[in-house]
Amino acid sequence: MDYKDYYKILGVDRNADADAIKKAFRKLARQYHPDVNKGDKNSENRFKEINEANDVLSDPEKRKLYDQLGANYQQYRQSGGDPRSYDWSQWAQQGGGGFRGRPGTTSTEEVDFSDLIDSLFGERFGGRQTARRPRDLQQPVEISLAEAFRGATRVLSKDGQDIEVTIPAGVKTGSKVRVKGQGARNSRGQAGDLYLVIEVARDDTYERQDDDLTRDVRVDAFTAMLGGEVTVQTLSGSVVVTVPPGTSSGKKIRLRGKGMPKLNAKGEQGDLYLRIVVTVPRELNPEDRLALEKIAKHYR
């Protein structure tokens, strides 16, 4: 089992936080993705390493174990040591977060370290050969808010084949779409899964908060004062909205069920909030100005 420096692979400091690891992973995944470097075996292997590193460092428990195990094991291997004779007890019984045996004991005899290390690194240990557990892969995918509203498709290329993936309506930034059996393969030919990590791009019109949307709607001063109707474009089409008399700038009008579809809740949607922005005429002719001044005196 050769030690891999996952921090070096992702190009981050050992004290990097989760956001820094996530950012580094996304940048490298885009750079070395097989779709961008078709036929380049080195890029393909680099992409697998990046996913492997992210799989461990993005998981707090795996990262904790890796940090505890990694440095000592690397030094042992570099000195010519055999992994089958490595003394795991030097870290197994450490206090303050070290891995221990079953609850109530610190005996290393009660811990199956070979299963522990095989499950994390998938290599030979203790004189037996186990196949590496097929690894899942992650790939960042950016979609627009409109695509998140309607649902979308993406075509992925793998091993010379195009795979069409459906992204369901209602996904958010951070949502994961599972593509079964399209991850990395182990020595037995078993494949893990591929997860598309969704990032919904910023929209110029709508603000999103969970499943609710907010947008500005411009209303002239006379409609705001007297009330009236305005036509508003939503992601599902145009609607006619009644503006109550005396509406001020900043007031919100709620349209139930006109927000984002709720993921995995068929037929349910969030709400759309219309934030009123009152506009006034830039120029007035003398007669209109005089009339408005008379009205203003009445209400001051």
Category of 250 on φ-ψ map: left (φ > 0), alpha (ψ -120 to 50) or beta:
left
Please count the CA atoms within 13 angstroms of the CA of 194 that sit on its side-chain side.
Answer: 20
| Angstrom distance (rounded) from CA 275 to CA 267 | 25
Domains of the chain and CATH, by start: 6-121 (1.10.287.110), 137-200 (2.60.260.20), 207-299 (2.60.260.20)
**Within 10 A of 52 (CB to CB), how many other CB atoms are there?**
18
Kindly state the tokens that stand for 273: 């909030």
Size (the chain), residues? 300
Query: What would the 3-class secondary structure string for 208-257 be?
Result: EECCEEEEEEEEEHHHHHHCEEEEEEECCEEEEEEECCCCCCCCEEEECC
> Cα(248)–Cα(153) distance, rounded to whole angstroms?
42
User: What single-letter amino acid sits at 88?
Assistant: W
User: Which residues lie closer than 8 Å to 86 by C-beta, 6 or more apart?
Assistant: 73, 76
d(CA 191, CA 133): 9
Residues 6-23: pLDDT tens digits? 899 999 999 999 999 999
pTM of the shown model: 0.59
pLDDT tens, per residue, the chain with 300 residues: 456 788 999 999 999 999 999 999 999 998 998 878 887 888 888 998 999 889 889 988 888 877 876 655 455 445 555 544 545 444 444 433 333 333 333 333 333 344 444 444 444 344 445 567 888 999 999 999 999 999 999 998 877 888 899 999 999 999 999 999 998 888 788 889 999 999 999 999 999 999 999 999 999 999 999 999 999 999 999 999 999 999 999 999 999 999 999 998 888 999 999 999 999 988 888 888 888 888 888 877
Give DSSP secondary structure letters for 56-106: HHTSHHHHHHHHHHHHHHHHHHHTT--GGG--THHHHT-SSS---SSTT--
Beta bridge partners of 188: none
pLDDT in tens, 225-279: 999 999 999 999 999 999 999 999 999 999 999 999 999 888 899 999 999 999 9
Sign of CA dihedral 8, 12, 17, 23: negative
CA distances from residue 100 to 72, 109, 110, 181 in whole angstroms, order as listed: 17, 10, 9, 34
